[in-house]
Structure 1
Amino acid sequence: MIFRERTDVGKAKEMFLAQIKGMEKTELLPATSSISRVLSSSILAPRNVPHYRRSAMDGFAVRSVDLLGASPTNPVMLQISDDVMEGTCAPVNTGDYVPDEADAVLMMEDTISIGDMVEIRAQVHPGKNVGEIGEDVRKNEIIFNKSHLLRPCDIAVLASLGINDVKVYAKPVVAIIPTGNDLLPLPGEGIPAPGKTLDINSLMIAKYVEKWGGIARYCDIVPENKQLIEDAICANLDTDMIVVSGGTSVGDKDYVPEVVEKLGKKLVHGVGLSPGKPTALGVADDVPILCMPGYPAAGLVALFAFGKPALRKAGNIPDVPETKVKARMSGKIMSREGYLSYARVILEGNIAHPLMTAGAGILSSIAKSDGFVIIPENVEGCEEGSEVEVVLIE
């Protein structure tokens, strides 16, 4: 396979992302249905939390001045009452309202109840074990900034403030266009005839699009025909991103990069990515287009390298660090200098076993693996026994 040029992965990614604008479309959602959505505006607290003085302990609400000098050898006796005044105290549980006349809460462990009296065996300073109004959140405080990715704990905070609806960015829509004369739609019936292949790439791409925060638009399989490929891309220029699967190599019928260049601008064709060298990147009518190889493993690596960051930028979705673990190689991994290589490994404790270091079409090797060892362009493989970082497959 010969390409006129091969673009560095980092440079290709930079060029691609530079073409992408974060979407402006928003929608109003119930807060309880907004987990993993991105706020399109900052949220201010409409009230204080707590909105009353509350006890931080089980015990008695007291006036600290009444407990001066109290100790196990010099206890102070107070009357148990519903009100707090000189000589009295009120029982409270954690989270209870603390009467205005009380300025502290004494822990139950420092008392002995005797009928309607309580023996106090410790003194407290003003404010002890009392949560003041607005201690957690103050009214008009910024709770979450614009572009914050909402988590389950954030939804609980919104509920505590009485915020029922939130304004979020709409999810980016990604059109998935499979190409190839050999493809058959899912679900397949029986075993495909020799030379025919089920279109598993569309399903794989769609599930990752949904996992990463987008909406997948499935498209019909497009034969290896320039006009039909052009028509399919044009029909989906109303989306936020297009992923074309197949037709990116340098064969006589690999028309996709040529069509992208005709419709808009081909940024890159051929990247220093292994597997995934035939990847092409472009833009048409301000819509970014990722043209990934039809071989499933190569296509998936291209999707991770370019599709995921592009989708996140289009949807204003904050970057989430990849999950990585350190491991030691049980065997040697070969790689080509000048290529960013994704080597598949199986983890066994802190040992990484090479699974399938070659074979762009072997998708099962990814399903069987736990993650990738990403080998930089300027490094020739990993030696047995070397320590590596394994990027876990999501």
Structure 2
Amino acid sequence: MNDEKPPRRRRLPLRAFAAASTVALALLCCTGGTAAFFLTELGGGSAEQMTPMSVECTGDFQVNVSGKMPRMADYGDSQLRNAARIIGTGQQMKVPPRGWVVAVATAMQESGLRNLANRTVRDSRDLPNEGVGADHDSVGLFQQRASWGSARQRMTPEYAAKKFYEKLVAIRGWEQLPLTVAAQRVQVSAFPDAYAKHETVAAQIVDALAGGAARTALVSGREVCDAASGKEVAASGWTAPIAGRVGSGYRTSQRPGHDGVDIAAGKGTAIHSAASGRVLVSKCDPDNSGRESCDVDGYPGKGGCGWFVDILHSGGIITRYCHMVTRPQVQEGQRVAAGEVIGKVGSSGNSSGPHLHFEVHEDGDRSSRGATDPVPFMRSRGAPLKAGK
């Protein structure tokens, strides 16, 4: 398998998750060395960013609401204690960990994980609170309105979480839905795309408070740590794109310009989107001669990704999938769910045999400067890539 070069110069259309998304676009050079493609406000600004925590998936997900809270950027003790009460309620109701992530992310958007009173709701003012909101008659962690219960009930975190979960689990197929879709169907918000930006940090909070629970996937009816692959999606919302083993690694001494990993698989193997998101690119990458010749097998030194797809996920994460055997099964601008089939393994472009070249980019940067090692990244999401040999 030979080095893949990033896509050659091109301008690409972008449709952001949020209507007010800001896009800064520059040309992406074929060498990946100088130019960049940046996407901002696509899944959270700096206020939502946190350093990924190293939390092992212990299998013991019980939350100690009254215990010491971990230290996290942007969220204090009382906010994390509210998150713990949300998670604890989900545990008592036997809601799977994916539901905890959805609920915590929703409360992050609605209240910043603060139990808010409302100056227009008279009987909420005298109740213990962590701030005052002013949205209609909404109160509490989820900013629930009067139809959800009395002010006292809605400002009791366990009651508010219980009502949220009851509506969530009543949605058919909620676990397979993108987080923002599932949350919106419960909340019916005026800003339906806003929840997605909190997914990454919500998963980190669940991991920190519940023993790595966001890294579990439902396998044969039970939650299993670090096993998300293909259609089995972890509570974090991530899954390994294929089940093959990693051969050539990320930026090795032999291949310092290799911005991803090569995952071995037979030609025609289904490739799954690693998380829900929006397709940025779906096309044939020209070879070194400038020709678009992706419908035939490539060879070392040919150049280009062949048929490839780039997908934008919450938190400004971008994943890339190269060398597909035929035109991808998704189109630019299309929303995809985690685990959705986006194409099939092939050997088009700069390739010496069938495999998936898989990249992960951070900060909305599609250039080499935004690339990060997919192996630890995917492991932290509970969707580890299998080690080679």
Compute the TM-score of the two structures, normalised by the length of structure 1.
0.21
The structure having more radius of gyration, on CA atoms, is: 1
Compute the TM-score of the two structures, normalised by the length of structure 2.
0.21
Higher strand share: 1
Higher helix share: 2
RCO higher in 1 or 2 (8 Å CA, sep ≥ 6)? Answer: 2
